[in-house]
């Protein structure tokens, strides 16, 4: 059994209004640093899973993302920096 780690980023689906992102956007405009930042907020999770190989670890990660960390009605997720520990 091998151990893998990954970073998960959960964001709102395209077309779903992101009020927190808009709020940060407004503040950025106000600071004058950037006028077209288009902020999108989301959540970040870092975790490790065990598996026989990469495929089984990734399939575990997908289940975790779909069932626990995100809600497909509203959100999408990305698995990044996947590597063996």
Partner 1 sequence: MKSGIKAGIVVFPGTNCDIDTQRACEYFGWETEFIWHDEKNLDKYDVIFLPGGFSYGDYIRAGRLAKFSPAVIALKDYVTAKRGFVVGICNGFQVLCETKLLPGILSTNTNTKFICEEVELSANHSEFPKTVKFAIAHGEGRYIADEEVLEEIITKDMIFLRYKDNPNGSALDIAGLYDKENKIFGMMPHPERGVFAETGNTDGRYFFQMLEKKIIESCTCNCAAMPCCQGEDC
Q: Closer to partner 1 at the Cβ: 69 or 79?
A: 69
User: What is the rounded distance in angstroms from the CA atom of residue 25 to the CA atom of residue 23?
Assistant: 5
Contact between residue 51 and residue 82 where contact means Cβ atoms under 8 Å apart: no
Shortest approach of partner 1 to residue 2 CB, angstroms? 26
Q: For binding to partner 1 (CB under 8 A), which residues are involved?
A: 12, 16-17, 19-20, 23, 43, 68-69, 71, 73-74
Shortest Å distance, C-beta 49 to partner 1: 17
Pick from 1, 80, 4, 75: nearest CA to 40: 75
């Amino acid at each position: 059994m091998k151990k893998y780690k990954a970073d998960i980023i959960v964001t709102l689906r395209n077309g779903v209004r992101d009020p927190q992102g808009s709020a940060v956007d407004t503040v950025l405009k106000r600071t004058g640093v950037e006028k077209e930042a288009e902020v999108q907020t989301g959540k970040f999770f870092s975790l490790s899973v065990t598996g026989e190989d990469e495929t089984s670890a990734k399939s575990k990660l997908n289940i975790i993302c779909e069932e626990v960390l995100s809600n497909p009605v509203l959100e999408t997720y990305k698995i990044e920096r996947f590597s063996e520990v």
